Amino acid sequence: MRPVERLRRALAPCLLIAGSAGAWAAPAATCTKPVYLTFDTGHMGVAPLVAQVLARQQIQATFFLANERTQPVASRPAGTSLDEHWAPWWKALAQAGHDFGSHTWDHMVWRGDRSGALILQPTAGPQTGQRLSLSPAQYCEELARSAQRFQAMTGRPMRALFRAPGGKTSPALLKAARHCGWHHVPWTTAGFLGDELPSDRYPNARLLQQALRDIRPGDILLAHLGIWSRQDPWAPAVLEPLIVGLKARGMCFATLREHPDYRTVGDAPAPRP
């Protein structure tokens, strides 16, 4: 029997239970073995599916926002993840109680430090692919721009959380962000869900098995709203079986508002004049 079929049969009872109304809803007060599911933006091709799964499973997640290039999705044309076509989607997520942080505006990947400046390479926006030298203040403006757009789309403030694209940081970058009030959120080792890995070498069945085996309470999990380079999309095959499987192991899902390291983080700081 193929590995995918074995996994599907093993999880079938859980999926049937999950289909009943409220069967997996865990009151926050009794969430003693939490895991923290987080999503970074991407091409948004699986974004509607992700929202549907979270609603069906009655769980909340934390989203890190950058203005990335998008695929056409249903009636939405190709554009960017924070454009007007996606604004109602983000507003609905905010109304559903999810948590939000910045992923920089142009998905700026740290490449090095030089003479008091940060060397960053955007993978989105008009300077895609260029290596830019930003001052600490300019980097803070890059973080704040996503927060400003989020508030304009949803009418709600973003919290002062951020995740550096690719998780790439340096002491200088973290110091710059802290100085202007931002708190960095990495992921835990077991929480790397692998949706950005090549699917020929890391098929969905393998990623699901690994996550169900290795994730422990307290882990921060990382996935994306679409990865351009992955041929076999991760979310349709893995997301809901993973949630159901972790619930079957006694775990529950919480946003970073409940995480001991991030629960006291307040609203995103306003840009400095």
Q: Grade residue 31 by pLDDT with cuts at 50, 70 and 90.
A: confident
**C-alpha to C-alpha distance for 262 and 265, rounded to whole angstroms:** 5
What is the tens place of the pLDDT at every residue in 100-144?
A: 999 999 999 999 999 999 999 999 999 999 999 999 999 999 999
158 in Cβ contact with 151 (< 8 Å)? yes
**C-alpha to C-alpha distance for 157 and 39, rounded to whole angstroms:** 18
* pLDDT beyond 80 at 272: no
**C-alpha to C-alpha distance for 215 and 190, rounded to whole angstroms:** 5
Tell me what the mean pLDDT of segment 234-261 comes to. Answer: 97
131 in Cβ contact with 121 (< 8 Å)? yes
Q: Cα torsion for 59, 64, 67, 73, to the nearest 10°?
A: -20
Q: What is the pTM of this model?
A: 0.89
Amino acid residing at 23: A
Q: Which of 250, 237, 185 is nearest to 37 (CA)?
A: 185
**What are the beta bridge partners of residue 223?**
39
Q: Grade residue 273 by pLDDT with cuts at 50, 70 and 90.
A: low
* Whole-number Cα distances in Å, 246 to 7, 20, 128, 208: 13, 17, 38, 11
Domain 32-258 has CATH 3.40.50.1100: no
* pLDDT beyond 60 at 197: yes
Structure tokens belonging to residue 151: 């508030």
- Kind of pairing between the strands at 132-134 and 117-122: antiparallel
* pLDDT beyond 80 at 39: yes
What is the tens place of the pLDDT at every residue in 12-30?
A: 333 332 332 232 233 345 7
At 68 the pLDDT is 98
The 8 Å CB, 24+ separation contacts for 75-84 are 76/44, 80/124, 81/41, 81/42, 81/43, 81/44, 81/225, 82/41, 82/146, 82/149, 82/150, 82/153
Q: What is the mean pLDDT of the chain?
A: 90
